[in-house]
């Protein structure tokens, strides 16, 4: 079995990506914001199983192509299988953007929930820019975890009981200081794009709100509930002493770690298939134009 974490995460990725975007909003971005009216060559860094290709290719002008790059051998294999009989021009490359050299032949460089896993985000974005022709675009779909955490509502439960925003914010900040990976990178990306010389930099927020509606069909409700659980909502925190030790090792004080554990345990008990819940991931979509 592979030691690379993402080689084992295909089912998780496939089950949770549906939580992030409405198709009509993505089509709105393509047609009315980015105004893509002629075929484009897209390269997607950290492509996973080709999620962005699956979503965007049917919306793009005929003749567009999609190249996916990912470090995971298993995810690249899954992507190749999924696109094997598709009508679109696709290519999948196993590789690490931090080590690869890509020619500047692409109209668009994209990434999705990728930069938050990078320890040197700026240099990765620089490589994305280098892989795009003059006048092309860089588009980054990235999370801002603290706004994500503030966007849960369970009917009948006070949000402050299930999410300790101040503690969670400190936890994310301490994690970033310790390992260089920033779960709040979505809010910083437009700043980095502009600092690196891109023009017409803007940032949007996905309009997707997931609603666990008790009046929908059971099959649809179970599918959404399963995706939300896989996303981490209402997960069981585990053995108390072990969890508190890990939280303290990540920078929380003892009292903060205990409060975080209690909130996660309470959330796990409250969130059931029968719950009324709304959840908005609030994915940030930042983009700019390459100008050399």
pLDDT in tens, 165-185: 999 999 999 999 999 999 999
43 beta partners: 67, 109
Q: Is 121 domain-assigned? A: yes
Count: domains in the chain: 1
Tell me 5's DSSP state: G
Q: Is 175 domain-assigned? A: no
Q: Is 17 domain-assigned? A: yes
Q: Is 224 domain-assigned? A: no
Question: With the C-alpha atoms ordered 269, 270, 276, 282, is the resulting torsion angle positive or negative?
Answer: negative
Distance CA 15, CA 237 (A): 21
Cβ–Cβ under 8 Å, residues 129 and 154: no
Question: With the C-alpha atoms ordered 45, 122, 130, 4, is the resulting torsion angle positive or negative?
Answer: negative
Q: What is the residue whose two structure tokens read 């909130």?
A: 263
Q: Is 74 domain-assigned? A: yes
Q: Is 233 domain-assigned? A: no
Banded model confidence at residue 50, pLDDT cuts 50, 70, 90? very high
Banded model confidence at residue 1, pLDDT cuts 50, 70, 90? low
Domain range holding 36? 5-144+183-209+281-289
Banded model confidence at residue 261, pLDDT cuts 50, 70, 90? very high
The mean of the pLDDT values for the chain is: 96
What percentage of the chain exceeds 90 in pLDDT?
Answer: 95
Query: Which H or E element spans position 160?
Result: helix 159-162
Q: Is 47 domain-assigned? A: yes
Cβ–Cβ under 8 Å, residues 52 and 119: no
At residue 15's C-alpha, the angle toward residues 13 and 20, to 5°, is 80
Q: Is 221 domain-assigned? A: no
Banded model confidence at residue 3, pLDDT cuts 50, 70, 90? confident
pLDDT score of 251: 96
At residue 72's C-alpha, the angle toward residues 206 and 101, to 5°, is 85
CATH of the domain at 59: 3.40.50.150
pLDDT score of 214: 98
Burial class (CB in 10 A: 0-12, 13-18, 19+), 84: exposed
pLDDT, tens only, 196-240: 999 999 999 999 999 999 999 999 999 999 999 999 999 999 999
> Phi and psi at residue 207, in whole multiples of 5°?
-95, 10
Tell me the whole-structure pTM to 2 decimals: 0.95
């Amino acid at each position: 079995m592979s030691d690379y974490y993402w080689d084992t995460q295909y089912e998780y990725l496939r089950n949770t990506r549906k939580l992030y975007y409405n198709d009509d909003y993505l089509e709105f971005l393509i047609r009315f914001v980015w105004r893509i009216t002629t075929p484009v060559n897209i390269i997607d860094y950290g492509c996973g199983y080709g999620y962005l290709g699956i979503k965007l290719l049917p919306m793009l002008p005929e003749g567009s192509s999609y190249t996916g790059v990912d470090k995971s051998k298993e995810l690249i294999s899954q992507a190749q299988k999924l696109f094997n009989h598709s009508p679109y021009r696709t290519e999948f490359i196993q590789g690490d953007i931090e080590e690869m050299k890509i020619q500047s032949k692409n109209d668009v460089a994209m990434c999705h929930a990728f930069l938050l896993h990078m320890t040197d985000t700026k240099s990765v974005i620089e490589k994305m820019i280098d892989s795009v022709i003059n006048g092309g675009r860089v588009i980054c779909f990235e999370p801002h975890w603290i706004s994500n955490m503030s966007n849960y509502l369970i009917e009948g439960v006070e949000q402050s009981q299930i999410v300790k925003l101040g503690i969670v914010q400190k936890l994310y900040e301490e994690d970033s200081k310790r390992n260089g990976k920033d779960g709040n990178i979505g809010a910083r990306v437009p700043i980095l794009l502009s600092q690196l010389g891109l023009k017409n930099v803007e940032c949007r927020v996905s309009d997707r709100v997931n609603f666990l509606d008790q009046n929908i069909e059971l099959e649809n409700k179970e599918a959404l509930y399963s995706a939300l659980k896989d996303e981490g909502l209402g997960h069981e925190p585990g053995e108390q002493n072990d969890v508190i030790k890990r939280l303290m090792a990540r920078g929380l004080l003892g009292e903060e770690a205990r409060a975080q554990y209690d909130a996660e345990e309470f959330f796990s008990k409250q969130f059931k298939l029968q719950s009324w819940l709304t959840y908005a991931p609030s994915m940030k979509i930042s983009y700019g134009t390459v100008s050399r």
